[in-house]
Amino acid sequence: MTDARKPDISLRKSPKQARSAELVATILDAAVQVLEKEGVQRFTTARVAERAGVSIGSLYQYFPNKAAILFRLQSEEWRETTDLLGRIIEDGTRPPLERLRALVHAFILSECEEAEVRGALDDAAPLYRDAPEAKAEKAKGGETFQRFMSEVLSGTPAPMRDLAGELIMTTLTTAGKDFSETPHSTAEIEAFAGAMADMFSAYIASLQVQQGRTEAT
């Protein structure tokens, strides 16, 4: 038996003119509103078109199905997060661990501010998560962070750096998602992010000490 065919999540065509780009932006804005109001279970192309004030035919010019709309929203969220974190951790004017602390605070705050839509997109992930486009987009953020780990743990073996980077990012994203599922005050967000940054900094410091001992023997 063959697996069910995954839906096409690519745009049918790219908006090349300002008017087309504006239409796509309107559809995506409407999609966010439908997600917030209806949730992913009641998310349909018809509801998005109605909210956007466009015909279903106009929507289908660009998005072949609801999975394509949801993936576009998710990929833009991934891209915005990657750009934000990239600007922080690639700032060579600040010490590495200071950048890591700033990254953790920015990520947790972002998770809390956009928890409703991100939660809905997580629920929709089975529609697109196995598609090559989704894997390629998600990998970009990991590549950025691994470059940072190569800097902060320079001199350590690559497998150690890769494992450390994977552990930190998995812990950050999983704990951040769980934390953001309930409302928190600014002070609570700062305390949570600070504690997590302390934990990551201590972990990295222990790896640096371990590597120093290895080099000394």
Q: Decide if 81 contacts 74 (C-beta within 8 A).
A: no
78 in Cβ contact with 137 (< 8 Å): yes
Q: Say what the pTM is.
A: 0.75
pLDDT score of 97: 92
With beta carbons less than 8 A apart as the criterion, state whether 215 and 155 touch. yes
CA 174/CA 97 separation, integer angstroms = 21
- Please give the DSSP secondary-structure letter assigned to residue 6: P
- The C-alpha atoms of residue 134 and residue 164 are separated, in whole angstroms, by 24
10 Å Cβ neighbour count for 184? 16
Q: How far is CA 29 from CA 19, 22, 118, in A?
A: 15, 10, 14
- Residues 34 and 48: beta-carbon distance below 8 Å: yes
Comparing C-alpha atoms, which of 160, 165, 167, 170 is closest to residue 209? 160
Q: Which two tokens stand for residue 128?
A: 């697109």
Cβ burial of 168 (10 Å; 0-12, 13-18, 19+) is buried
Are the beta carbons of 145 and 169 closer than 8 angstroms? yes
pLDDT given for residue 213 in this prediction: 64
Provide the pLDDT for residue 203. Answer: 95
Closest to 182 (Cα-Cα) out of 120, 115, 125: 115
Asked if 124 and 75 count as a contact pair (C-beta separation under 8 A), the reply is no
Q: pLDDT tens per residue, the chain (217 residues)? A: 344 445 555 555 565 667 788 999 999 999 999 988 888 888 999 999 999 999 999 999 999 898 889 888 888 888 888 888 889 988 989 999 999 999 999 999 988 988 777 777 777 777 776 767 767 766 766 778 888 899 899 888 999 999 999 999 999 989 998 999 899 999 999 999 999 999 999 999 999 888 776 665 5
Type of residue at 58? S
Q: Is 114 helix (H, G, I), strand (E, B) or coil?
A: coil
- Tokens 């990991």 locate to 142
